[in-house]
Amino acid sequence: MIESTPRRTVPLVLALAVAAAAPTATAAAATTAAAAPAPAASATAFAGIRGWARMAYGDPRDDVRILVDAHGFFDGRDPAVAARSWGTFRIQHFMGGPSDGSDGPRPGFNWGDFRVDCVRVDGADVAVTGRLVDAGPDWEEFLHGTPPARMGVSFHVAAPGTGETRIGITAPPPAGAPELAPCAAGPADAGTTAGGYTLTDTRRRSG
């Protein structure tokens, strides 16, 4: 479970425009949804990511954030993809704020909460996918699909002195196309302007 500093108590909707150009499966703070229980520790290694950051979004009046609390056990069958994954993530979008990008009242708030179904950790790069469990009215068509839509978020968690942390959002494919595959989040291609993430990986110590 993760929380951001709320700007208002009643969420509105989540803006799909944040990720309109994200790749499909073939190319590969506010209260989040209740996290799935962690599985029994039967695997050999653990890795995960936790935190929040504000995206360096094109319009300074907007405040787009990714909050994540996602983890997995790795059993060695795939060196990067967790054998068991759990957690939550949220994408939230405050709209219409001050033109200089500073904090202040924003008339619109859009969001979507996701239950994690796949975690991929490859060095400093992390991809997480999950299905919607709660969303604003603009995403009801994705929330009430059968099954609910899968989306992805991606991260490059830079160590101090090694560059900037980046994030990315992968939207559902167009109607009629195959759904996004597990862990098939696109590249982390946007910078951040606030916040940060903590990457934990016991494989680094054991390998």
- Between 29-38, 96-105, 145-154, the lowest mean confidence (pLDDT) is in 29-38
Tell me the DSSP string of 64-81. EEEEEEEEEEE-SSSSSB
Q: How far apart are the first and last CA of the chain?
A: 29
- Between 77-91, 99-113, 135-149, the lowest mean confidence (pLDDT) is in 99-113
Give the separation between CA 165 and CA 189, rounded to whole angstroms: 10
Q: Taking the alpha carbons of 114, 139, 192, 98 in that order, is the dihedral positive or negative? A: negative
Helix/strand/coil for 206: helix
Note the Cα 189 to chain centre separation in Å. 13
CB atoms within 10 A of CB 51: 18
Cα atoms in the Cβ-side hemisphere of radius 13 Å centred on 138: 15
Looking at residue 56, its pLDDT comes to 93
Percent over 70 (pLDDT), the chain: 72
Q: Which residue has the higher pLDDT, 110 or 131?
A: 131
> Which one, of 194, 123, 206, 116, lies nearest residue 153 by Cα?
116
Q: What is the mean pLDDT of residues 157-164?
A: 90
Q: What is the mean pLDDT of residues 50-78?
A: 92
Convert the pLDDT of each residue in 7-63 to its tens digit.
332 232 333 433 333 333 333 333 333 444 555 444 479 999 999 999 998 887 788
Looking at residue 26, its pLDDT comes to 33
Highest mean pLDDT among 82-86, 141-145, 158-162: 82-86
> Which one, of 4, 52, 12, 56, lies nearest residue 30 by Cα?
4
Question: Is pTM beyond 0.85 here?
Answer: no
Looking at residue 98, its pLDDT comes to 62
Looking at residue 14, its pLDDT comes to 36
Looking at residue 108, its pLDDT comes to 75
